[in-house]
Structure formats: C-alpha cells, structure tokens
A and B are shown apart, each in its own frame.
Chain A
C-alpha cells in the first residue's frame, strides 16, 4: 500500500476553555473515501479545518500529503479541494466566473482555468447556467457549483463538510451520484456527515466521532456487525407508554433501546421477535422490521441519536 495522504495522531484543538477536538488519530489512504460521522458539535468541522490547513492544531501530529500544515499551509491548500459546510460562493460573480476566479487564486494560467471551468460545469451539470447569477441557483445547484469550484485545482484530496445537509432528497441523490463518480475516478474523499445513509453510500471507511473523540472505526458494514444486530424491530406504543413498555420488554432480543417516540429491539430476526410478542398479546400501535444502520451503531456507542 502506498503511504497515507493524511496522518493524524492525538490531534487536539482547544479554543480557550473549550476542547473541540480531544485527541483523535486516523489515517487516510490515497483513493480512499473516508468519513467522519457524528452529531453537530462533535468536532467534525474543526477536524476538517485542521486538515484543510486553515486551522492550527493545539497539539498532536498532523501530516497532509507528507507536509506539516503549520509550516506548509499554502503548499497543502494548493492540493486540496474544499467544500465548506455552508456555501461561500462569490455572489458578485456569475457561475462560470466563480470557477475561473477561484482557479486564479491557485495561480493557474488563464487558458487552463477557462477550459477547466467548462469541463467542470459539464461535470456539475450546470452548462446552461454558466452566465447565471449565483443567487438565482437552487440549493442543490449551488452545492454542485461549490464542488466544481473545489475541483478547479485538480486536488489530490477533496474535503466535503456536510455535503448534502439542507438539500431535498432528489438533489441529494444527484450530488451523491457526482461524488460517486469522483470516487470511481480515484479522488480521495474526506467527508463529514450526520446522515448515516450518506456515510453508508459514500464511505469506504469511517470513524464515529462524539464530543471530540473517536468512538469507533471501520467500514460501515463492519461497524454495524460489531456494534449492532442484523435487524431492528421498531415498536411504537404511544408517547406515554414507550418507556414502560421498554422496561417490560427488556429481556426481548439482544438489547432494547427506549427512545421518546419508539422502542427499538435489536435482534437477528425481527419478524420472529414480533411474532413472539404477538403471541404474548403485546400489541404496539405500529411495528417495523428493518436492517441495522449506522444510526443504531451511533445510538449503541453514545446512547444518543445522531439527529436530535
């Protein structure tokens, strides 16, 4: 295996009294798609900013493409593509100009930047919006433009902070499709998300982060295997009864979680458990059997759900 493009060990970021990142360690291999999964405030964005060489670490070791960001910020940033959590497109410039001007920030030659901008407009499916104002674009289009902008310098690593937060389902799927294309072409992706489905779709490997520390690391499938059961039986008894029913059912399945709106029973065979409950004359208002997801992994690791 070739040497990792990102090495972080005991990475810490402290703001005055607050510890945003409390000593995390991970490596990212070239071509890998690596995810940081966790709730808001877990320290994902801070970690991304340190990887992006726009935030200096308080302590620990960090190497991006073999360089220390404290000493080689511009050199590292010249090889990164950055898609920040909220779009910061240049609203005083038109769509195509946004790409061209951004390419110039990297000191790239004008002719190269123009043809690259046209290629990326096609990639982002924005060819017919080349002359449009940025403010006239939909949320999904702005996001795609931001990704296209992040690709202007042919980055070796693309950093995506919450790439689809705030987008409607259709726009998300278009975006995932584009990101999947990049992944297939061998671009190294590092992304944060608090959506488990996004992490499952896009990440080869991920770390679950909570309160600035890593709770678990692995592929989506291995994490689910390790920290959850194959299936989950979701039962709703009504807001007033969920807690008491969870207490009654605590020996059913491998594990029981009581959430305010439902009771989760972790088990290898959800249908069989449900049939057994029906035989015991326990009748929930609604029931659902589903496969375990990263959401369940997170719940198991932290006792809280990802999206609160």
Chain B
C-alpha cells in the first residue's frame, strides 16, 4: 500500500502486521464458506471426480494394458502398463480437481456471484481469500488422490513403500496447479477465454508422458514436454509409486514449489487489484 505521509493513531489492540492489509489470518472462514456451499449445492459434482481416473485406469491400464504388456521403469525394471499409467492418472486427477476448483469455480465467483467483493468488504484480506480458496482446492485434490491411491493399492499397482509419499507429492501438485490456476483465472473476462484452459489441459494430459515413456519423443520435443508442469508432476508421482526413487525427484519438487509460490503471489496481487483498487 502506498503511504501518504499522514500520521494516524493506532488503536492499542491493533498491532501493525508485516503484510498489513493483505492478510487477516482468517483463511479458515473462507474454507468454512466453501464447505457449507459444497454441502448444500454441488457435492455430487465433487464426488463424481473420484470416478474419472478409476475409469481411465480400468479401460486403459487394465484393458489396453493387456495388449501392451510391460514398460521399462526409470530404474530399468519392467513394470506392468497399468502400474506405469496409474501414477500419471493420479497426478492428473489431483491437477484436475485443483484446476476445476481454482478456475471455473473462481471465475464464476469473481465475474458473476461477486463473492470476493463481499468477502473483501469484511476484515478479510486478499491473501485470506487466496489461501482459503486454494486450500479448498487442495483438499478436493487430496481427497481424489487418497481415493485413487486406495484403488491402486487394492489392485496391486503400488510397487513400493515410497508410494506413501505419493500423497504429499500429489498435494504439492494440487497446490501448484490451484494457486497458478486462480491467478490465471483472475485475468479471464469471458467464457470464451475460459475455454482456453480446457484447450491447454487436455493436450497436456495426453502428451505429458502420461501413457507412454518420454523416450518416445525425439530429443528436441522431450525438452518441451519436460517443461510442462504435468510432466514434472507425473514423473514425481511415478517415481514414488513405482519405487524408482532418485535424488533427481527433488527437482520436480522444486519446480512445483516455485510454481505454487508464484501462483500465490500472482493471485494475491490480482485479487487486490480487482477488488481493492
């Protein structure tokens, strides 16, 4: 905030906080609102998201997989096709849950329901709104991930105890996509622009070494694919569920952490610009 040089009194009860007018430490009120709204309106939509990756796993992993046979994992082992694509579907499910919540839902709230305008007229700051909404998206992505991990365990696709770490990994994936998605959405003004998100998501899902190894691509294309956030996510989760863990996965973690941080900063700035001009 720009200072004007005018000295003002400060009530005894109020301490000057470092991020001043951006954060009131009450993101849970935003989450509470989301939980009440989900409970009363769209819980069916939320639940339906659990089944999508399961259907992919059954049709492609088990069905198509019976023709494909085995794939060579990162550490040279041969693993079943289902075990190869299951972690990719898991990462994608986390991405989809997070992106749906942080893009279409947020778009509607910004442009039509004017929900944030109401929130920011209270003592909430833009960072409360961003953290609250992104945490909700994270919870949703996390719930999908847990459900899918259980399915994977049940059909024997978790090949290592490292798979336990797939849950926090998937939460990081959801966080990165949710915070970035919300920031991007704040620029969107029409449904046509929102369709761009779908236009990006689907090819990314199909091309990010989801259904076949990266080595299928020529070297030049490989670099492009490796730059995609979903490829980073898929590789991270795949290393964990197949047990092909190396120090290299920390690069994926770093990539996603940076993406999450940038997204959070972008979202907060945009909310402030849109609603606290």
Give the B-binding residues of A (Cβ under 8 A).
Answer: 52, 54-56, 59, 61, 63, 66-68, 70-75, 77-78, 80, 82, 84, 88-94, 97, 101-102, 104-107, 153
Contact = CB atoms under 8 A, between A and B. Distances in A.
B32 A104 contact: yes
Contacts of A84: 117-118, 121
B8 A63 contact: yes
Given A77-B123, A94-B40, A101-B36, A71 B3 contact: yes
B44 interface: no
A70 B114 CA distance: 23
A73 B4 contact: no
Residue from A72, A84, A90, A92 having most chain B Cβ neighbours under 10 A = A92
A73 B276 contact: yes
8 A-B pairs closest in CB distance: A73-B21, A78-B123, A92-B37, A105-B122, A88-B114, A68-B8, A104-B29, A82-B121
Contacts of A80: 121
B122 A88 contact: no
Nearest to A46: B277
Nearest to A150: B121
Instruction: Tell me the dominant secondary structure on chain A's binding face.
Output: loop
Contact of B117 (A59, A67, A88, A104): A88
Nearest to B37: A92
B228 interface: no
B6 A68 contact: yes
Interface in B1-43: 1-4, 6, 8-11, 14, 16, 20-21, 24-26, 29-30, 32-33, 36-37, 40-42
Contact of B33 (A66, A72, A101): A101
Nearest to A133: B40
A151 to B, nearest CB: 12
Interface of B: 1-4, 6, 8-11, 14, 16, 20-21, 24-26, 29-30, 32-33, 36-37, 40-42, 113-115, 117-125, 275-277
A92 B115 CA distance: 10
A101 B32 contact: yes
A92 B76 CA distance: 51
Instruction: Tell me the dominant secondary structure on chain B's binding face.
Output: loop
B123 A75 contact: yes
B129 to A, nearest CB: 10
A93 B40 contact: yes
A102 B122 contact: yes
Contact of B24 (A67, A74, A88): A74
Nearest to B28: A104
Contacts of A67: 8-11
21 contacts: A54-B275, A56-B277, A59-B4, A67-B11, A70-B4, A71-B3, A73-B21, A74-B21, A74-B123, A78-B122, A82-B121, A88-B118, A90-B37, A91-B113, A101-B29, A101-B32, A101-B36, A102-B118, A104-B26, A104-B29, A107-B25
Residue from A59, A67, A75, A84 having most chain B Cβ neighbours under 10 A = A75
A105 B26 contact: yes
A54 B4 contact: no
A150 to B, nearest CB: 9
B122 A77 contact: yes
Contact of A104 (B1, B33, B115): B33
A162 B123 CA distance: 23
B15 to A, nearest CB: 10
B3 A70 contact: yes
A94 B120 CA distance: 20
A78 B26 CA distance: 12
Contacts of B10: 67, 72
A71 B29 contact: no
Contact of B20 (A55, A71, A91, A97): A71
Given A71-B3, A104-B26, A104-B32, 11 more contacts: A54-B121, A54-B275, A54-B276, A55-B276, A68-B6, A71-B21, A73-B21, A93-B33, A93-B36, A97-B40, A101-B32
A70 B4 CA distance: 8
Contacts of A107: 24-26, 29, 123
Nearest to A94: B40
A77 B121 contact: yes
Contact of B120 (A54, A66, A93): A54
A75 B16 CA distance: 10
Residue from A66, A80, A88 having most chain B Cβ neighbours under 10 A = A88
B124 A74 contact: yes
B80 to A, nearest CB: 43
A104 B30 CA distance: 8
Given A71-B8, A72-B14, A56 B1 contact: yes
B195 to A, nearest CB: 23
B1 A71 contact: yes
Nearest to A104: B29
Contact of A74 (B6, B125, B275): B125
A41 to B, nearest CB: 17
A52 B275 CA distance: 12
Nearest to A64: B8
Contacts of B30: 105
A105 B21 contact: no
Nearest to B34: A92
A102 B33 CA distance: 9
